[in-house]
Amino acid sequence: KERKLILAIESSCDETSVAVIEDGQKILSNIVASQILSHKRFGGVVPEVASRHHVEQITLCMEEALSEAAVTTEELSAVAVTEGPGLVGALLIGITAAKAYAWAHDLPLIPVNHMAGHIYAASFVKPMTFPLMALLVSGGHTELVHMKEHGSFEIIGETRDDAAGEAYDKVGRVLGLAYPSGKELDELAHLGQDTFQFPRAMIREDNFDFSFSGLKSAFINRVHNAEQKGEELDRLDLAASFQASVVEVLVTKTIRACQQYDVKQLIVAGGVAANQGLRKAMAEAVAEELTDVELIVPPLRLCGDNAAMIGAAAFVAAEKGLVGDLALNADPSLTL
């Protein structure tokens, strides 16, 4: 049987990534060129800077991905690329490169939703079994997605304001941490205790939505109040208290969603899925409260943005005949 090799490209935000994926499940290469250092001094991703970096990196990453995978262009069966959501200028660099490559080598072009990609990162760990629930937690999104089969996505709940990762980044800034501060805040949280008891927004409400802006404000107000009074707050406890609130809400609502939809699998994906507190609490809650539900959390390197996950989602899309053409355009607000 001939192997199906997909060249996958991801450029939706601040990572230029190109991967070669065999049969949707084997990662032959997954090059990730991060621009974080360039954005750090601005305290966030600057779209124009991101686009320029993608332009500089994209062809280098494509060459490196092919050479590391030891794959020639002739062996490829398709080119996949992130269509959205993301920064329009950043997306366009990947899309233009993918279109040019697909046209030059007469290969099918497969558009992929970035959030679907995050979910499909789980398929490198274990095959997906349906119905499943996915908790998607990233810098721009926080949503619970119910999947009855491949390619079918039903958003049953989402954040009404800030995404979980966004809250981490904003709160981290108040603590003087560099952008993006999720990882560092996570590390600090492990050294402190939940002494502040911040609110757990919407935790008891009969829906699957989230809200993190109230928590963010409570945190910022607490810090500013202390500053005005010259009171010294324990940074580790602040971090631990913030994290305890985020994790408890995410875990509680996700477990409830799994029960209500009677799923076989739970996938936790996206940049915030790298959070050690969330990984641990979710594993414990699944073991205690859900019988026969298999939890899949991708390895750390596949939680953040990468092209391997785009290749995995593209493999399934290609099997369903979801192929694009050269009219493909970036869709910054594409939904699942």
Cite the annotated binding site by residue number. Answer: 114, 118, 136-140, 169, 182, 186, 275, 305
All residues at 6 or more sequence positions from 21 whose CB lies less than 8 Å from its CB, including other chains:
5, 6, 8, 27, 28, 308, 311, 312, 314, 315
Do 19 and 25 meet the contact criterion of CB atoms below 8 Å apart?
Answer: no
Question: 186 contacts which partner out of Zn ion, ligand KG4, none, CB within 5 to 8 A by kind?
Answer: ligand KG4
Q: Which stretch binds ligand KG4 (CB under 6 A): 63-71, 124-132, 267-275, 286-294?
A: 267-275
Stretch that binds ligand KG4, among 19-27, 43-51, 212-220, 271-279 (CB under 6 A): 271-279
Question: Which positions make up the binding site for substrate?
Answer: 136-140, 169, 182, 186, 275
The tokens describing 328, both together, are 């493909």
Binders of ligand KG4 among 5-24, rule CB under 6 A? 13
Told to check if 182 binds ligand KG4 by CB under 6 A, we report yes
Size of the site for ligand KG4 (CB under 6 A): 19
Give the angle subtended at the CA of 250 by the CAs of 246 and 255, to the nearest 5°.
150
- Annotate each residue in 127-166 with x if it binds Zn ion (CB under 5 A) or - if it does not, as one string: -----------x----------------------------
- The interface partner of residue 140, options being Zn ion, ligand KG4, none and the CB cut-off 5 to 8 Å by kind, is ligand KG4
Q: Going residue by residue from 56 to 75, which x/- string records binding to Zn ion, judged by CB under 5 A?
A: --------------------
Helix, coil or strand: residue 132: strand
Tell me 178's DSSP state: P
Instruction: Report d(CA 126, CA 255) in Å as an integer.
Output: 20
Beta bridge partners of 31: 18
Tokens of 268: 């936790």
Beta bridge partners of 81: 9, 111
Q: Which two tokens stand for residue 109?
A: 């072009």
Q: Two tokens at 170?
A: 């904003």
- Choose the one of ligand KG4, Zn ion, none that binds residue 192, judging by a C-beta under 5 to 8 angstroms depending on kind: none
Report, in Å, the least distance between residue 325 CB and ligand KG4: 26
305 near Zn ion, rule: CB under 5 A: yes
Which is closer to ligand KG4, CB of 96 or CB of 181? 181
Q: Which does 275 bind (CB under 5 to 8 A by kind): Zn ion, ligand KG4, none?
A: ligand KG4
How far is Cα 267 from Cα 263, in angstroms, rounded to an integer? 11
Strands laid side by side in the 26-34 sheet: 26-34, 15-22, 5-10, 78-84, 109-113
Q: Measured from the CB atom, is 141 or 222 closer to ligand KG4?
A: 141
CA dist., res. 224 & res. 209, Å (int): 29
Choose the contact partner of 182 out of ligand KG4, Zn ion, none; CB within 5 to 8 A by kind. Answer: ligand KG4
Among 168, 196, 210, 219, binds ligand KG4 (CB under 6 A): 168
Q: Please select the residue that binds ligand KG4; options are 239, 268, 305, 312, rule is CB under 6 A.
A: 305
Q: Is 10 among the residues that bind Zn ion (CB under 5 A)?
A: no
**Which of residues 94, 111, 117, 180 is near ligand KG4 by CB under 6 A?**
180
Residue 32 burial (C-beta neighbours within 10 Å; 0-12, 13-18, 19+): middle
As a whole number of angstroms, the distance between CA 200 and CA 194 comes to 12
Query: Min. distance of Cβ 288 from ligand KG4 in angstroms?
Result: 23
3-state secondary structure of 164: helix
The values of phi and psi at residue 294, to 5°, are -90, 125
> What residue has token string 């990468």?
306
The site for ligand KG4 (CB under 6 A) is made up of: 13, 138-140, 165, 168-169, 180-183, 186, 270-272, 274-275, 304-305
